Each structure stands twice: as C-alpha cells, then as structure tokens.
Chains A and B, each alone.
Chain A
Amino acid sequence: MARILIDNVRKSYGAVTVLHGFSLDIRDGEFVVLVGPSGCGKSTMLKILAGLEDASSGRVLIGDSDVTDLAPGDRDIAMVFQNYALYPHLTVRKNMGFGLKMRGMKAAEIDRRVVEAARILGVEHLLDRRPRALSGGQRQRVALGRAIVREPQAFLMDEPLSNLDAKLRVHMRAEIAALHQRLGVTTVYVTHDQTEAMTMADRIVIMRDGTIQQIADPDTMFRRPANLFVAGFIGSPGMNFLRAAVTADESGARVRLYGQDIALPPAAAAAAQRSDGAVILGLRPEHLRLGGEGPITFSVLPELVESLGSEKYVYFAIPPEHQLGGEAPSEEERRGDMMIARLVDAGDIAAAEKLKLSFDPRNLHVFDINTRNAVREES
C-alpha cells in the first residue's frame, strides 16, 4: 500500500511561513502534480515529503507508517531532481546502483536491476560512461533509472523537465507518463508548467503563496476552476477576464455585455452586492468563435493577430467599462487590457479589419470580486 497522507503540514523559516497547513490524501498508484508559480511552496512540500526538510508541524505518512521524522533514506522513496544530481565521479551503472549498494543488496541483484532499468529507459549502451559524457536527455533518463531500480513506494520528481529544451520536454513528458502506466508507482510531481500538469496528472494540486488553491483532476480544474487564480493559471493562453456591473431584480441577475443582456445564476447577485455591484466574468479564448452564430455576437477590431498555422490568436481591446484595473489575478494576466480569441481553422484574418465573434454565455465563469472565488449555481 503506497498511499501518501499529508496531514496539515506547516513550514516556517523564522517569521516567514512558506507553507500554511497543507493537507492531501494521495491514493496508491496515483500521479499527483503540484503546480504553481515560483515561491508557492511546491518544492518545499516535496522536500518535506522526501525528508530533506523538516516540517514545522504536521505529519506525513507513506504507506501506513508515520515518516515525518524519518531520514530520507528510510522512507522508501526515490527522487528525481531538476538538475539530475548524478554523481559525477561514478559511471552510469554505479550511479544507478548507488542506492541499492547503500542498502546492502547483493552485487548480482544490483546488476540485474540496473540492467533491467537501463533497458526500459533505453540507456544500456551508456552504462559505462560518466555523466559528463551524456546529453541532457540522457542524463534525465539515467536519473529516472536511478529512481526506478530502487522499486520504492513512491517517486518524487522536482521539475525534472525544466532543464530540457522544448521538443525534448514534450518527448520526455510522454515517456514519464508511459513509465507511470507501466510501473504504476505513486508519484508526486512538482512543476511550474501548467501544460505538464494538465497532460500528466491524475489529480492536480495548484498552489499559491503556500496555500492550496484547488485539488482536482485536470478536466474539472479546467472546466470548473475554484477561483480567479486557478482560472487564470490553467489553460494557455489564459482565460479572459472582464468586470461587469450586475443588475438584479425579481427576474434574476444579469449583466450587459456588448449591448446584450446575459443572465447569471442568482448567487452572482449576492456576490455583486458585496462588491460594489460588480462581478468578474471569465471567458476562455477557445470559447470565442468566428462568425455570428451567437448566442452573443459582437464586432471587434483586432489589434494583433498571431498565427500558429492551425489556429490564430486574435488580440482585441476590452471595452473600458469592462476593464479590470487592479483586480486582475496577477500582473501577467492583465495583458495590457486585451482579450484573446483562439480561433481554429479561421482562414485569413487581418488586423485592422473588423471581425465578428460570438460565444455561448453558458461558457462564462463568474467570480466574486472580493473573495476571488468562483460563483456557482448551487451557492
């Protein structure tokens, strides 16, 4: 049983708290990704899991044992580091066998496991080389191999792909996913890249400033983000945000966008009441379509068109009454008060030519300006 239970772990360095009460229950064989911007505490949490840092309070259980104060070597975990951390003075073979040797395993058994892992990762021909003679991708494989041979209860991976170039990263992503399929070992994976999180995770834990923002599987996190931050973080290009005044009466709550009334769930009225009568609306770029099918249609003048071949990103200005000002989730999300539409197979689009766009209001997300949380029907 390789279940991991993190129970209310806190970490402070003197007066600075880096992790506030982190709790998570990971099932056996699950691939969980901790994702978030730099400094959110994800790496710290991983190090606490590994035993490389001590928690200020809280417990960690791996399998059924309380490992909170156990040495890293006693937790039956293996770790893959961002800069691989291969031992430069040892050959690949000795690198991979190091952990087993420390545990007193017999040489024959070590050799068997090393060769087997090397075969799985396609590095048998490199076994007698030193790390400095390997490319980045090869080193990464060796680092993975070092983790696999230990046959641990869990893998911990700390941004293992960040040092690889873009194409290699895509390739290795698939390899790690395939490895997980094959071995089925519980994995905790840390990254700042939301694409890695979305493509690899069974569940995503998105973090910010030491707190968990949301725990969900990728699809749920995409379709139902819990708050403004999550909504803006997941998905590329990020969600568009508009500020809209809410009018509420007996027929319900509505906002007026581009001259058209859109109905909102009743909870939105309550949210708006708390914040100057307005809410933040979110609309993903892919939910904007070219043409006038509606239900909500409007015309814009694109300021910039980026073409990726198969799809186009069209940038246009947000009407001033809908601009966010200081309420955007983060500086990056302000995007200079532009909205982006992501149009697939759109044909030729020139900037400075008026464009008709439509969207379905059911794809709108509503957020409370004060709490930043998503407003839901069952609120």
Chain B
Amino acid sequence: MKSTSRYSLARPSRRHWLGYLLLAPAVLLIALIIVYPLLVSLDLSFQNVGIPRLGQTRRPFTTVNYERLFASAEFWNACWVTFKLVVIVTFLCSLLGLATALLVNNKFKGRSLARLFVALPWAIPEVIAVVIFAWIFDSSFGLMNWLLVSLGLSDQMINWFSDPQAAFAVVCAVMIWKGYPFVSIMALAGLQSIPEDFYHAARVDGAGPWQRLVHITLPCLMPVLGVTMVLVMLWVFRDFSIIYVLTGGGPLKATQTLSIMTYEHAFGFFKMGYASAVGIVTLVVCIIASRLLIGRRAESIY
C-alpha cells in the first residue's frame, strides 16, 4: 500500500478541502476583477470626482452625486427610455423566439438546417448588426425607406436617425433581431424536453392542436420561458454597443438608456463620480427587478 501524507486530499476526512481549493482561483480572480472594481465604483459614486487617480488622497464622502442624479430630468428620461426599451424588446423577442421555436420544432426534412438559420443572428456581432441596420434604415438610400415609399406606406423618406421616435424604433428593431435567437434556442430546448406522452394523452382525449399548445406546451414551457425572458430583460438593460454605435443615445436623448447615460458621463464629460452613481443605481434596479421576477428560484438560473 502506498503511504501518503497525513494531509493528503485523497483521505476521506480531508477530501472536502479539495472543494475549497478548487474554488480558490475563481474566487481570487472574481475578487480581483469584479468585486474590487465594484467596490471602487461604489466608492467613486460617493465622491465628487472627475477622473480618479488611484493612490491619490480620497475626496471627501458626499452624496451630491445621488442627489443630483435623482433630481435630474436626464436621469428620469433615461429610466423611461430604458423601461420602454426593456418592455418592448423583451416582449417582441419572446414572441418571435417562441414562434420560431414552435415552427422549427416540427418534424421535417432539413429541420436541423432550419434551426441553424433561424438562430443565426445570434452569431452576428452586435456592431455588425448595427452596420446592417444603419444601412437599411439609411435616410437617403436605405432599403427600408424605399420599401415604405414604393409600398405607399409613407409619402416621404423618413429620417430615421434625426427623428426621436423613429430612432427608438430602429434601436428596437436591431435589438429584437439580435435578441430573439436566444429565446428561440432556449424555447426549443424546453420544447424538446416535454415528454411525447403528454401530447399522446391529449390526442387520445381529443384535444386539437391549438388546445395542445395552450394546455400542454405553454404551461410546460413557462419555467424556461420565464427565466429566458428575465435574461433577455437583463441584456436589454445592460446593452451598450447597439445603442451607442447606432444612435449614440440621441437624437435628443430619445434612445439614451441608463447604460448609455453612465458611459456618457464617464467618458464623455469625464465626471466619473457621477457616472458611477448612475451605474450603481442601474445595477440596483437590475437586481431588484430580477429578484422580484424570479425570487427564490434564482438558483435555477445559477
């Protein structure tokens, strides 16, 4: 028999140490690049500071950032824009994602190919998606304007990026196009885990396709869909690339979400204390919203 040291992790009494050991690198890394910066961020939000220099003596603690933030119209506008965006995009993404999943779940030749294609927008980098849609919605030569005019839906070329409502609509369009594949993929996985027997039993009971959808498919899918919708919501909340590259937050702040506002104040105006405050508030809202929506079942995402 091999003789091993008293502290060998192979011994039954010591084995649970291994659990801690294996977690250590991750905990260390997360502490370094996520926890520490988060704390710095929190710290910054309570300082009236432009560009912080680490190592410099700290500015005095002040809540002026938060006061200013809750009093500013810009902040509330950003909240409203974010809210609108989250609701519209999440709803339409889920609808489109679910519809495509239901469609592709049927058995037909070329089904795997269809699955592949339907979810392809997921693989397109956000910046590229912006390029595509910026061109399609180009006010002078874009495809969309041509379509609208020649189909008689509009009597003139719409200036998509100078009109606040129009710009918001384009942002929505891009986000929906980028976001629905995720819902589609998750919904499809959920659909495929519904036991065939449920449908067999329903057919024997005389249920038609619509009834099967409403009484079996949707209820079984609810948990997965619920989690997915929350994840989409969080993505819309957080997203920066799409809006920043497409509209920069304008025109007239019509597409300025909280995320954009944070960035603007940090790297546009170089008021990082204030920007951090906005960021912290955004994070808190995220956490509260997702907690409310999934509550104790947060572990199911984790």
Contacts and interface: CB of A to CB of B under 8 A. Distances in A.
Interface string B3-14: 010001011110
A74 B13 contact: no
- Report the interface size class on chain A: 10 to 19
A51 interface: yes
Contact of B1 (A48, A51, A52, A76): A76
**Looking at A51, A71, A76, which has the most chain B CB atoms within 10 Å of its CB?**
A71
Contacts of B13: 54, 69
Contacts, number: 32
Interface of B: 1-2, 4, 8, 10-13, 15
Contacts of B1: 65, 70, 74-76
A-B interface, 10 closest residue pairs, ranked by CB to CB distance from nearest: A71-B10, A54-B12, A54-B13, A74-B1, A69-B11, A51-B12, A69-B13, A71-B11, A74-B2, A69-B12
Nearest to A73: B10
Contacts of A74: 1-2, 4, 10
Interface of A: 48, 51-55, 65, 69-76
Contacts of B8: 71
Given A71-B4, A74-B1, A74-B10, 17 more contacts: A48-B12, A53-B12, A54-B11, A54-B12, A54-B15, A55-B12, A65-B1, A69-B12, A69-B13, A70-B12, A71-B8, A71-B10, A71-B12, A72-B10, A72-B12, A75-B1, A76-B1
A76 to B, nearest CB: 6
A71 B4 CA distance: 9
Contacts of B12: 48, 51-55, 69-72
A134 B141 CA distance: 64
Contacts of B10: 71-74
Interface of B is mostly: loop
Nearest to B1: A74
B17 to A, nearest CB: 12
Contacts of B11: 51, 54, 69-71
Contacts of A51: 11-12
A65 B8 CA distance: 18
Contacts of A53: 12
22 contacts: A48-B12, A51-B12, A52-B12, A54-B12, A54-B13, A55-B12, A65-B1, A69-B11, A69-B12, A69-B13, A70-B1, A70-B11, A71-B8, A71-B12, A72-B10, A72-B12, A73-B2, A73-B10, A74-B1, A74-B2, A74-B10, A76-B1
A65 B2 CA distance: 13
Nearest to B12: A54
Contacts of A70: 1, 11-12
A346 to B, nearest CB: 40
A70 B10 CA distance: 8
B3 to A, nearest CB: 8
Nearest to A102: B2
Nearest to A65: B1
